[in-house]
Amino acid sequence: MQIMMKSFLWSVLFCASLLLSDALATYQLNAGDPQLIAAQSYAQTRNNGRPPFRTLDPSKTDSQCRSRPLDLVFIIDSSRSVRPGEFEKVKIFLADMVDTLDVGSDATRVAVVNYASTVKIEFLLKSHFNKPDMKKAISRIEPLAAGTMTGLAIKTAVNEAFTEESGARPRSRKITKVAIIVTDGRPQDQVEEVSAAARALGIEIYAVGVDRADMRSLQLMASIPLEDHVFYVETYGVIEKLTSKFRKTLCGLDPCAMGHDCEHICVNSNASYYCQCRNDYILNADKKTCSLKQMKAAVVVVEDPCKCEARLAFQKQTQAAIQQLTAKLVDVSGRIERLENMVGRA
């Protein structure tokens, strides 16, 4: 019986070793096969719950909301650190943003500034007034491949893209001017002064950092409040998720009307909202719920009854003493008067 059991176990081990060696051989044979690697990559993507690879389709448009009129300039980093596949993700992000906007001559105008060591204006605010043409122009953008001259790109956008000659509306029309900068690195030139100059001209700057982007540089470029104008994503693969954030910011929607979690009063604030409380209530630490104010109690002085009795006794004693003194004075006055009468008769 023991001999049969040992024989069975050795057979199982032998079969397992054959299967393992066959699997290793198959892996070594196909390790350099690009198609197999791509299939494995897709399987991992699918298993991770991520969407399949998207391509830019210029003919497809899907307006998500009606944005307020803007003069909008995208400033995109295409330096060497941005791989070709990643740059395609940036272009898809731009196309999604165009779909979000209400594009038109009298609505939102869009321009794209592409930069690396040099700066190239891909198209101006006056170039395209419909989504299909604009998305075709985006699909033709090629990376410039070297350097990260972000400051030069911002300066070029201010001097050449945000001008009336390039299609920007006159300041008298009060059209909001917005720049959205997308970068994955640290600028190789100064960005603080040129960004401040752009903001001084009324340009609202959003800074989008990807992967290795320098957060301090993003903060120096962006408008305030920084929490509303600085965004960061881990990879270009998820940059499309920012579209929904910009939709809330750029679209002409009423956040309070769309739904809120304020217990009492919702107050619109740009593309967001904050909560307030009704009279006699204060906002709690969660910034959503309210609590009734604690009213100060009226001050009621309750005297010690012992002190009251002592005071009354003192008052009675004082009054009795006064009465005794008054009687003595009357008596003395009478005696003096009698003495004066006796002296007068003598």
Name the CA radius of gyration of the chain, rounded: 42
pLDDT of 301 reads: 56
Tokens encoding 2: 């023991």
Give percent of the chain with pLDDT exceeding 70: 72
Residue 23 has pLDDT above 70, yes or no: no
**Domain-ending residue, one of 253, 282, 301:** 253
Evaluate if residue 14 carries a pLDDT over 50. Answer: no
Domain membership of residue 166 (yes or no) is yes
pLDDT at position 74, please?
98
| Residue 274 exposed, middle or buried by CB count within 10 Å (0-12, 13-18, 19+) | middle
Number of folded domains in the chain? 2
pLDDT digits over 180-232, tens only? 999 998 999 999 999 999 999 999 999 999 988 999 999 999 999 999 999 99
Asked if 199 and 229 sit in the same domain, the reply is yes
What does the pLDDT read at residue 13?
Answer: 44
Q: Are residues 177 and 260 in the same domain?
A: no
Report the alpha-carbon angle 193-196-202, nearest 5: 150
Decide: pTM greater than 0.85.
no
15 belongs to a structural domain: no
Domain boundary (253, 284, 308) is at 253
Same domain, 205 and 280: no
Residue 168 domain-assigned?
yes
CA dist 201 → 155, 181, 230 (Å): 12, 17, 20
Q: State both tokens at 313.
A: 């006794």
Q: What is the predicted pLDDT for the residue at 18?
A: 43
* Residue closest to 107 by CA, chosen among 128, 122, 129, 78: 129
- Distance in Å from the first CA to the final CA of the chain: 166
What is the pLDDT at residue 314? 80
pLDDT digits (tens, 9 = 90+) for 237-286: 888 888 888 887 777 555 565 567 889 998 876 556 789 999 889 999 99
Pairing of strands 203-210, 176-183: parallel
Check: CB of residue 263 under 8 Å from CB of residue 288. Answer: yes
d(CA 285, CA 316): 60
| Rounded (10°) angle between helices 242-250 and 84-100 | 30
* Over residues 5-21, mean pLDDT: 45
Q: Tell me, yes or no, whether 93 and 225 share the same domain.
A: yes
Is the pLDDT confidence value at 111 over 60? Answer: yes
Q: Is residue 78 assigned to a domain?
A: yes
List, for residues 290-317, the tens digit of each pLDDT value.
Answer: 998 886 655 555 556 666 677 777 888 8
Which H or E run includes 8? helix 2-30
**pLDDT at residue 16 greater than cutoff 60:** no
CATH number of the domain bearing residue 270 = 2.10.25.10
Range of 267's domain?
256-292
Polymer length of the chain: 346
User: Do the domain assignments include residue 17?
Assistant: no
